[in-house]
Amino acid sequence: MEGGDSLKKSLALLHGVINAKIGHGLETRVLQGLHVTHAEKGFMRFDFLIPNAVSDVDGNWSVGALASLVDIIGFVTIYSFANRVTTTEHVEIESKVSAKRGKLMHVAVEVRRKGNGEVIAVGKLWMAVNKLTPQVSNL
């Protein structure tokens, strides 16, 4: 593994989250079982088995868990390259149902920079509609 001090710091941050020394309980649960297989400045590869703790009742990976994983891994990889991450930004978020097939609905979410409208993140997912009352997670 090559990359110097910024890579060492980013891997230390990642292991701190995995081992619940920094961050929140949700991040620790999401990353359980994550193993770094290759790391260099600005590039990382991982091996991961999705834990049951972040799956829904049907065994599908929770969208929130996936978003948390992408966020943490993205942060760590950027940090390995730049030795810092700037996080303050004003954005607009737009979400729209784009398809319905029986009980399945497709939604697309776009995050744009406020002002110039540049798209900086896109998320798409299918969800099953049911008659259950939505519940807020205590995580």
pLDDT, tens digit, 9 for 90 and up, residues 20-31: 898 778 888 888
Confidence (pLDDT) at 138: 43
Amino acid at 86: T
- Is residue 135 domain-resident? no
In this structure, the answer to whether residues 77 and 95 fall within a common structural domain is: no
Cα–Cα distance for residue pair 74/88, rounded to 1 Å: 16
In this structure, the answer to whether residues 103 and 77 fall within a common structural domain is: no
- Is residue 106 domain-resident? yes
- Is residue 134 domain-resident? no
- Is residue 137 domain-resident? no
In this structure, the answer to whether residues 66 and 9 fall within a common structural domain is: yes
Give the dihedral of Cα atoms 48, 52, 53, 58; nearest 10 deg.
130
Confidence (pLDDT) at 49: 84
Q: What is the pLDDT of residues 92-110, one digit of tens each?
A: 999 999 999 988 889 999 9
**Residues of the domain holding 47:** 5-82
- Is residue 139 domain-resident? no
Confidence (pLDDT) at 1: 46
Confidence (pLDDT) at 38: 96
Q: Which residues of the chain have pLDDT under 50?
A: 1, 134-139
In this structure, the answer to whether residues 10 and 78 fall within a common structural domain is: yes
Total domain count, the chain: 2
Whether the CB-CB separation of 75 and 14 falls below 8 Å is answered with: no
Model-wide pTM > 0.85: no
In this structure, the answer to whether residues 116 and 70 fall within a common structural domain is: no
